[in-house]
Structure 1
Amino acid sequence: MKWSNLFGHAKCAVIGMIHVKALPGSPLCRMKMSQIIEEACKEARIYRDTGLDGVMVENMHDIPYSLSPGPEVTACMTSVCAAVRSVCPSIPVGVQVLAAANREALAVALASGAHFIRAEGFVFSHVADEGLVNACAGELLRYRQNVGAEDVLILTDIKKKHSSHAITSDVSVAETARAAEFFLSDGLVLTGISTGVGADPQELAEVSRATSLPVLVGSGVTAENARGYLAASGLIVGSHFKEGGVWSGPLSSERVDHFMTQMRRLRT
């Protein structure tokens, strides 16, 4: 399986989020690219030195997000990811480009040597705060084949956060998971309703029963509730690692270290 080849046999792999500072062209951009890259590498070093299993780079500060980010976003994210890869040569590095810029994320991964992407809107349409996001599995996997990025894993959100799923209200999360597996997803990401809100452990159990794919929890994981997610293949942690538990704050090495100490106990 691609997941185990990448993450080995790590039980409930922990992936730390690197929320890249606002990139050139976005309304909140206040830094030069050299500063943006250095900030990302600083966080990568903390994650590496505290023993995380992987990191993921995301343009989280590029609010408000666009469904058609410009070429400068792909170029800048490639530079950031390449720098993070050099800091973390021995652990998997992933990338997500907001919003739902999955082809761009694959291009970034291919050019920078990243190992996986997180994709929105892989199966079924939904209404996100950026607008209507349509399913992309067919086009995305053909693009991956065409550019020779078959080794890049595509981890796909199902019933993703910050979205209305009224148009697919008759499709359960388990059915969505089965559809993603049928459409050749490499792994599933389960979330709460918004950033920092935990996923439902019952939904985690339901999705895990419905599919043979690795299932990751992608929001709201904390040192206090991690025990309830141990059945997951991985935990994507962002907000909890920041000062005060706020996603936009600076990364706290103490919070990361405390979490990983807790996880080592839980894993054994």
Structure 2
Amino acid sequence: MNLNKSIIGMVHVQALPGTPNSKFSIEEICEIAVKEARQYEVAGLDAIIMENMHDVPYLKGSVGPEIVAAMTVVAKAVRDAVSLPLGIQILAGANKEALAVAKAANLQFIRAEGFVFGHVADEGYMDACAGELLRYRKAIGAEAILVFTDIKKKHSSHAITGDVDIDETAKAAEFFLSDGVIVTGTSTGKAVYLHELKSLKDKVHIPVLIGSGVTAENVHEYWPYASAFIVGSYFKDNGYWKNKISEESLKTFMQTVSQFRKK
């Protein structure tokens, strides 16, 4: 998978069976996810990632077999519908489950939380998982699936690692064989701190991705410093992640990006 200023669209999969907000059948969930994925492909995005964000409140570190089964069905439906590289994240921190789904559905990458260093998420304490996760990837023959890892992740307190800055966290992730680090703002849709992104550019030799808060208005600031941009909220009506995709916002963003690519 080539991360050369890639735009990665986020599909927020509808609440899955067994979760508090569940209201759609698996067939309906698949239809909605496939529709969004096709919109992204037609708009010219470079990749897509799926996430079970509607499954609030999230479990911590693992999910039940019903979630794994449902996400596999959704992922396979999207895989059959589009030709773009696909990834998956299963909240919260269900990284081994995400790898299993990715392997079964022929996806190209996962987004993993808590790869290095512990932190306090809103689900509770989340410990580091790099050693166990990458051994599991090896065990199931999924070495071709890239593992992109959040550092100083949003929706979390990092007071317990307050003496470890984002540069050192990224270096640790690289040392522990991350395929790329993801930088975020403080919460969903919040922009990253530009000074942190600039600082990372020459600190690690793996891709640096932006995982929140990218818009048509600020992408020019981040463009020189990131390898890829995961965009979700901006593409939705009124910039709110729960809403449907706004074709106007999608078009505006990709037109803006096309101008940078011509330079």
Range of TM-score over shorter length: over 0.9
What is the SS of the residue equivalent to 1:213? coil
SS at match of 2:252: helix
In structure 2, C-alpha distance between the alignment counterparts of 1:47 and 1:76, rounded to whole Å: 22
Number of the residue aligned with 2:100: 107
How many Å separate the matches in 1 of 2:183 and 2:77? 28
1:1-268 map, 5 Å: 6-7=1-2, 10=4, 12-67=5-60, 68-89=62-83, 91-230=84-223, 231-268=225-262
Give me the whole-angstrom Cα distance separating, in 1, the residues matched to 2:203 and 2:140.
31
CA distance in 2 between counterparts of 1:186 and 1:241 reads 26
Q: CA deviation at 1:83?
A: 0.9
Report deviation, 1:226.
Answer: 0.3
List structure 1 runs of 4+ shifted beyond 2 angstroms: none
The number of residue pairs the alignment matches comes to 260
Q: CA deviation at 1:177?
A: 0.2
Identity rate of aligned residues, in percent? 55
Say which SS state the counterpart of residue 17 (structure 1) adopts: strand
CA distance in 1, matches of 2:200, 2:114: 17
Give me the CA root mean square deviation: 0.8
1:165-204 CA-to-partner distances (Å, cap 9, x unmatched) read 0000000000000000000000000000000100111111
Instruction: Indicate the SS of the match to 2:201.
Output: helix
Q: What TM-score do you get using the length of structure 1 for normalisation?
A: 0.96
The one-letter amino acid paired with 2:79 is R
Gaps of 5+ in 2: none
Check the 8 A contact 1:7/1:53 in 2, yes or no: no
